[in-house]
Amino acid sequence: MSAKVQVQTTINNEPVEFLCEPRQSLLECLRDIVGLTGTKEGCGDGNCGSCTVKLGDRIVTSCLVLGVEAAGESITTVEGLAHGSTLHPLQKAFLDHAALQCGICTPGFLIAADALLQKHPHPTEEQTRFWLSNNLCRCTGYDKIIRAVQAAAIEINGAAQ
Amino acid sequence: MKAFDYAAPASLPEAVGLLASQPSARLLAGGTDLLVQLRSGRKEADVVIDVKKIPELNEIAFSPAGGLTIGAAVPCYRLTADASIQSHYPALVEVASWIGGTQIQGRASLGGNLCNSAPSADSIPLLIALGASALIAGPAGSRSVPVEDFCTAPGRNQLAPGELLVSIQIPPPAPFSGAAYLRFIPRNEMDIAVVGAGAAVTLSNGVIAGARIALSSVAPTPLYVPAAGESLVNQMPTAEALETAAKIAQEAASPISDMRGSAAYRRHLCAVMVRRALELAVARALEIN
Ligand SMILES: Cc1cc2nc3c(=O)[nH]c(=O)nc-3n(C[C@H](O)[C@H](O)[C@H](O)COP(=O)(O)OP(=O)(O)OC[C@H]3O[C@@H](n4cnc5c(N)ncnc54)[C@H](O)[C@@H]3O)c2cc1C
Ligand code: FES
Ligand code: FES
């Protein structure tokens, strides 16, 4: 086994330090070392998007990032979306629109949708579907997720001009 | 995943030195191929060398005289957001927005796409069509290889032990030139090309002065078909001329049958995709200038 590495990073606006093996994915580090289990593992090979986190200025699948690569970066996980006990408008819209059933895909969809709404305040349905094409859901059939994201866009950014 | 050490050299000489001293090292750019292969055991490494801290591998530089330099580790999401690429190389923006989905594009680089050297790699036919070259650094100094000569077999390329890809260099777009890459996939996103076609044309007084055509997923490596482009030279871009070029490209293909399509289906698609890519490239050559 190779020597463990000390990683200093920022997670959900808090400085965090953890010790990991270089071979461990960021997903493993978040869940098993830091104890943030909101981020889920589905496929482990970049296809399903359930492990999506924000890394710096873009979203990534954390199963395809090494924990050591987080050094000096800023990460947002699903735990960073709510303010205390007030849900993020996307979280609320997912509940209101029944955009989840088993829920394993939900943290990834929330992080990806949050990044979408920061880039496109009023995304079209097509933009939304393309942006979320790296996120799989085996339960909902996607439609309710799309409606929830559109409702949250209006809640956050007002009605489109 | 088997244990390995991690290094993130901050300069090119440091990276070349490290690579030369570590025969079982693997280079990490976005990791969207490498980490999948290490996890599945298809590849092994004692050391993973992260190339993203090397300045030359992170730059995007454009000048009207010199053309475009894309650092080997620049992720797709930076390419699609770059104003000079958007205005001078629209086809490159399209390819970068088709590799995987949003999250994959947050990591995946064109350097990694080229060095992984898959026959299906989406960026390679377009890079060949655009006349791109690969700048390589190694213990013996640096050298430049045309992208069409870079891949040698599935997953294999020209890089000698100790060498790494520094950047991809694309010539400046000529006046009245246009390029396109189109792929056929069963879904709209997140799938591997059944057939992909890249084309670039330059017009002069309405006549084709030069054309380059390349294909993906129809041969052991991305396939450059010089004769297809040459057939167009001194021709008007008529439907017949484009169809003839497409047929020549089709004949050069040696596709296999797999779960995505039979060899006969792929062969049929070759002509269709090349013709459509040429049509789009010609339309762009006429509109941009
Ligand atoms: C879900 C998913 C969807 C995908 N969809 C597509 C798709 O639509 N089209 C497509 O073409 N590909 C696709 N891919 C494959 C992959 O994303 C691309 O090939 C990507 O461009 C690889 O870039 P990377 O930076 O992640 O490379 P890495 O994985 O970091 O590296 C790839 C290979 O190149 C080597 N390497 C990296 N940098 C250098 C360098 N500077 N010098 C020498 N060698 C180097 C590595 O050692 C490795 O062998 C997909 C992958 C996933 C997981
Ligand atoms: S677990 Fe990372 S993409 Fe599926
Ligand atoms: S709610 Fe079950 S996978 Fe999406």
CATH number of the domain that residue A142 is part of:
1.10.150.120
Domain endpoint, select from A32, A55, A80: A80
**Residues B100, A5: C-beta atoms closer than 8 Å:** no
pTM equals 0.96
pLDDT per residue over B49-91, tens digit each?
Answer: 999 999 999 999 999 999 999 999 999 999 999 999 999 999 9
Q: Tell me, what's the pLDDT at B289? A: 47
Q: Are residues A95 and A132 in the same domain?
A: yes
Cα B12 from Cα B58, distance rounded (Å): 11
User: Residue A160: pLDDT above 80?
Assistant: no
Which tokens go with B207?
Answer: 């006549």
Distance CA B219, CA B153 (A): 9
Give yes or no: residues A17 and A70 share one domain.
Answer: yes
Q: Could you tell me the distance, in angstroms and rounded to a whole number, from the CA of residue A21 to the centre of ligand 3?
A: 31
Residue A76 and residue A93 share a domain: no
CB contact under 8 A, B35 and A66: yes
For chain A, the domain total comes to 2
Residues A70 and A93 in one domain: no
Q: Which residue has the tokens 């454009």?
A: B62
The two structure tokens encoding residue A42: 């589905």
Q: Which residue minimizes the CA distance to atom 21 of ligand 1?
A: B113
Q: What is the mean pLDDT of residues B271-284?
A: 98
Indicate whether this complex's ipTM tops 0.90.
Answer: yes
Q: Is there a single domain that holds both residue A70 and residue A106? A: no
Residue that the structure tokens 């050559």 belong to = B285
Q: Which residues does ligand 1 sit against, CB inside 6 Å?
A: A 45-47; B 26-34, 36, 51, 57, 72, 98-100, 104, 107-109, 111-113, 115-116, 121-122, 159, 164-165, 190
Least confident of A78-87, B62-71, B92-101, B190-199: B190-199
Q: Which of A50, A80, A110 is where one domain is finished?
A: A80
Digit-coded pLDDT (tens) for A19-73:
999 999 999 999 999 999 999 999 999 999 999 999 999 999 999 999 999 999 9
pLDDT band per the 50, 70, 90 thresholds, residue B205: very high
CATH of residue A55's domain is: 3.10.20.30
Cα(A157) to centroid(ligand 3), Å: 27
Point out the domain boundary residue: A32, A50, A80: A80
A119 touches chain B (CB under 8 A): no
Give the range of the structural domain holding residue A71, as residue numbers without chain letter. 5-80
Q: Are B102 and A45 within 8 A, CB to CB? A: no
The string over B111-144, giving b where at least 16 C-beta atoms fall within 10 Å of a residue's C-beta and e elsewhere, is bbbbbbbbbbbbbbbbbbbbbbbbbbbbeeeeee
A73 and A95 both lie in a single domain? no
